[in-house]
Chains A and B, each alone.
Chain A
């Protein structure tokens, strides 16, 4: 067994914290992400995650935990996307992209100011690509609370959300406040990608939001089941990623470990590829 679980894996408290935070985040992000895939809002999710980099680097500049920065800028971004979303669809992606460009530009500036003012090397890496093993245990209750909040938003309007995702016209005819539901949903996405930014990094957070749900929706068309499968896949990718990252301290070519974020993203991507095999697509 020791060649799978390198010594100390189960007793290391850093690993415990990472596994706990990672599981919570993966679970919630996958749950929220199922609707993002159904609604075709992968780009919005990506933009909100990336905008988190702006807030994260800005928060560091003023000495606040990046998590609050991730959340603040993602929520502002969600407001912007929601406002743009009221216009017709063709310009929506373009406008999202241009706002995202400005946000990333601002992130560039903040990171530059961060590194020149405090000479912290590796900050860009932490904000952009996350550092699962650097999460403080004291942050766990906050993470759990925010995760519950995001989940609460999605669960509270589950039926309305599902209906307005599958058929906005039908939902509107049934009296569902489609725009309000959309706005509440984007708030939930903001919280989810902010949490994912904490574990796998702002620019990689889309992996957990889109990857497991997209794989799950290839396997089943039933929304409830898809949520369960997506959550399971997300948690599996995170925990396996943590395990591999821990083991990778003994891997070539360098003896300092592979980034956990990369391993998680690679696993998420392979799961998606597996569900795209001809075997599965024939059943459609």
Chain B
């Protein structure tokens, strides 16, 4: 499990989890679950296109994911955001299927890009993945206060002179970069689960933003590590474990949250 081949996976997956946990916190706060679901397929199209042209897959992932984010931002500006997101998503998935149908390696490649492949990371990819991750975290660090403010109250943010649409596009771009580093590991379909499930869980457990970020990172790391071990042992796809663990932890945290909040209300039925 810790052979030299797997070491790359462990390193990459940990970096992915850290970034997913942080980006996911804002995605949940901003209710961008749909956008988080829609961006990874753009990265999938990019990877497929890059493999068709024989280019570096990281390059394809990045260009397409950022392109997808910009299309969503542009179309969502004066139209309906969810419609723009849905149509960008299907366009990118369709492009991905087109590119893959033109290349030689069809079925296995499509599968690992969509659902993840624990042995899909090579040593040379670690550096770009790490660099992208650091870039995402730095960008979020700079955007931290405006993001938080505009997520909590768009009106106050606007009154303070922030431009909500610019912040939105900026955030989508960061999310796209985060996505492009993760698709080779977790797969296009399960990436968003890794982004929103740990942070959704964290938000149900604590309301303080810094604590929620730390918790969401820790949960994301735990999810990915468990998924790698389970996937290695059973040979089943890693995406299955990421998705299931995400649902389980979210359900548990919601029940705990509900239980915590009903308990104080039970004592002493009031006189009517």
Contact = CB atoms under 8 A, between A and B. Distances in A.
Contacts of B187: 108
A253 B91 contact: no
A93 B94 contact: no
Interface in B54-88: 75, 78-80, 82-83, 85-87
Nearest to A123: B107
A121 B196 CA distance: 32
A37 interface: yes
B144 interface: no
A256 B190 CA distance: 31
A95 B246 CA distance: 11
Given A104-B190, A207-B90, A262-B98, A98 B236 contact: no
Contact of A98 (B94, B106, B247): B247
B93 interface: yes
A266 B91 contact: yes
A94 B94 contact: no
Interface stretch (B163-171, B173-181, B237-245): B237-245
B98 A259 contact: yes
Given A97-B196, A276-B75, A253 B102 contact: yes
A104 B87 contact: no
A101 interface: yes
A109 B243 CA distance: 11
B33 A105 contact: no
Contact of B242 (A101, A253, A266): A101
Contact of A102 (B91, B200, B244): B244
Tell me if A's interface is mostly helix, strand, loop or mixed.
helix
Most chain A CB within a 10 A radius of its CB, from B34, B94, B110, B250: B94
B99 to A, nearest CB: 9
B197 A108 contact: no
A97 B239 contact: no
Interface in A82-133: 90, 93-109, 111-112, 115, 121-125, 128-129
B34 A98 contact: no
Interface in B225-240: 236-237, 239-240
Contacts of B246: 98, 101-102, 105
Contacts of B94: 129, 204, 207, 259, 261-262, 265-266
Given A203-B90, A204-B90, A268-B87, 11 more contacts: A43-B37, A90-B31, A94-B200, A97-B196, A101-B190, A102-B244, A105-B190, A105-B241, A105-B242, A112-B236, A211-B90
Q: What are the nearest 7 A-B pairs in CB distance?
A: A105-B243, A101-B193, A102-B247, A97-B33, A265-B94, A108-B115, A42-B82
Interface of A: 37, 40, 42-43, 45-46, 50, 90, 93-109, 111-112, 115, 121-125, 128-129, 201, 203-204, 206-207, 210-211, 214, 218, 253-254, 256, 258-259, 261-262, 265-266, 268-269, 272, 276, 281
12 contacts: A43-B82, A98-B197, A101-B197, A102-B246, A105-B246, A125-B101, A125-B110, A210-B87, A211-B90, A258-B101, A259-B98, A272-B87
